[in-house]
Structure 1
């Protein structure tokens, strides 16, 4: 698969809607049994977050094959150290990483993470967080191969 990675910033936030909704639907398939927000409410909340995360040194990377986007990553760069662990003053948080089904198993996720690492190295950022749903074992396996290890386990009791 010939994938090109393209960096975009806040000007492209509305272009991420379809990708976010695909990730939102993926979450529902991977971890059923929860009540998920409808697409529009989910996008409005995520769009607002993306706007803030893309401010400053934050960035999004699109994985493109020809004219089709087969994946993306969205990264926030924070300028405050972690409150628990010893870390640098600048920390990256990969808030979203999606590879569409047709791109899975072809190295697209690895290419995106390689490009994230390259961008962060250019910014001098070494410490990185990434989230995964507890049931998303494929993503967790990929992240662990990249040197990530479990740090926090969130448990939820949602009543609404």
Structure 2
């Protein structure tokens, strides 16, 4: 019998190690660029964003989080991608930026960008927690 990974509170994680796949966790990942699209040029930028965010999504699967926690982080990463596209359109200088550079501008040690349209303070705090995890993940990956 295969034991399921445990979360810090002794609850079962989303699925067992053999079953954890990005396709199960984010079945619509390939549709994200179209969901963020403002104009046709956004599809290629969206694909670039998905490419840089996918390793983090895969990393989250290895942490043994409960299903609800994983789904919350997934939603926040989708929101972040949409914010990246929005920021590209609000500032013409950002249109030429590679997605990684834009991501580095938008997330920091304290969290992520303010979501528009405005969300509640609690929702923003939760989104910022995911952005902090992404920031830490990216900094660890760049260090070694």
* Range class of TM-score, shorter chain: 0.3 to 0.5
* Larger proportion of helix: 2
TM-score calculated relative to the size of structure 2: 0.32
TM-score calculated relative to the size of structure 1: 0.30
* Larger proportion of strand: 1
